[in-house]
Amino acid sequence: MSDTNEQESIILDALERFLVTEVEPFVHDLEAKDEYPHAIVEKMKEMGLFGCIISEEYGGLGLSTTTYAKIVARITHSWMSLSGIMNSHLIMASAVQRHGTDAQKEKYLPRFATGELRGGVGLTEPDCGTDLQAIRTTAKLEGGHYVVNGSKTWITNSLHGNCLALLVKTDPNADPQHRGMSLFIAEKDEGFIVTRKLEKLGYRGIDTCELLFQDYKVSADCLVGGVEGRGLQQILSGLELGRINVAARGVGVAKAALDLAVAYSQVRKTFGKPICDHQAVQLMLAEMAVRAESGRLLTEAAAAAYDRGERCDMEAGMAKYASTEAAASNAIDCMRVHGAYGYSKEYDVERLYRDAPLLIIGEGTNELQRIIIAKQLVERNPA
């Protein structure tokens, strides 16, 4: 076994023990109450999970994206919300690690790795999501700091976190618009206002909020890379990682639904035999297994391409599309296998059914993924 494989095995084994003993017994109550898992997050900090893909040079674990995707899939198998607490944070960290100045890396990455500073990305606004060039939040340079005004919505880790990679317009009149967009490392301070926590169908327990920036001051030293006008490219490079993460979440949900369905089908009996002996159920289980495995393989392929430093927007899009659709389809088929029990809040099936739709929408809708895939197919295969 190579050193890399041995490290991965040790980490995944430790993660398995943590999830079985410290997470799974509490998920049902925390999710039902929409209660933030403070104690679990503290243990995640101790395990170094907030530094998964941060370089060892800065105190992180320095794991490959391939290993990280496996971690996300396993966490999601237990509770999808925990993976979101990590993902947005690591997109922020990745943006600084890839594009920050040396001083920014030395100041922030060690604090990101320990979870001392923990947060996410401030992109979406009330009037824009997929079209990030339409953001309206502005930052105006005044002396040694920028003054930020505007609003953001659907921002993960913004209530209990304390830092964001914040996308703004430093030149609202730029043409094309992306040349006027910049990214800041924005720690909570006066003028950084959480206006409300959003109530959600699923993905509960994690804080998703609306934000208002009202004359919020951020030091010029916190402009990622130190140069205005590069923010969109800086954050888009991290969204490949985000899509691989969401793909891995899809793998976790799809596999969880499959596992529940397979187990239940062996103990539930109708007409004198377990329902797994009925052909209609067998066909359903087979479809669920193929979906889950297809998503897993595409996700691992996308993660491997990302690790090699290759352009992988098509691969990440394919993985995200396949695995999240698998999660949604498997969740509803799992409910069908369980019958009325699947519709009951006493079982985990209905939680998977509520969590899965977010994956189809988040990190770029699956409609957008198909467009990206098609455009890349044509670009890479000219006639």
From 316, 277, 286, select the one nearest 300 (Cα to Cα): 316
How far is residue 304 CA from its own chain's centroid? 18
Q: How confident is the model at residue 128 (pLDDT cuts 50, 70, 90)?
A: confident
Look up the CATH superfamily of 233-380: Butyryl-CoA Dehydrogenase, subunit A, domain 3 (1.20.140.10)
**Amino acid letter, residue 341:** Y
Give 311-332 pLDDT, tens digit per residue.
888 999 999 999 999 999 999 9
Instruction: Indicate the class that CATH gives domain 3-114.
Output: mainly alpha
pLDDT at 3 over 80: no
CATH 3.90.1150.10 is right for the domain spanning 120-230: no
What would the mean pLDDT of 196-206 be, rounded to a whole number? Answer: 95
Give 150-159 pLDDT, tens digit per residue.
999 999 999 9
Give bridge partners of residue 163 from the DSSP assignment. 119, 187
* Active-site residue identified among 106, 363, 367, 379: 363
In eight-state DSSP terms, residue 23 is I
Give 246-299 pLDDT, tens digit per residue.
999 999 999 999 999 999 999 999 999 999 999 999 999 999 999 999 999 999
Distance CA 257, CA 11 (A): 24
Any catalytic annotation for residue 363?
yes
* CB burial of residue 380 (10 Å; 0-12, 13-18, 19+): exposed
The per-residue pLDDT of the chain, averaged, comes to 95
How confident is the model at residue 98, as a pLDDT?
93
**What tokens appear for 132 in the block?**
């990030």
What would the mean pLDDT of 292-307 be, rounded to a whole number? Answer: 97
- Identify the H or E element spanning 166: strand 163-169
How confident is the model at residue 161, as a pLDDT?
96
What would the mean pLDDT of 227-242 be, rounded to a whole number? Answer: 88
Distance CA 158, CA 138 (A): 19
How far is residue 173 CA from its own chain's centroid? 32
Domain regions of the chain by residue span? 3-114, 120-230, 233-380
* CB burial of residue 334 (10 Å; 0-12, 13-18, 19+): buried
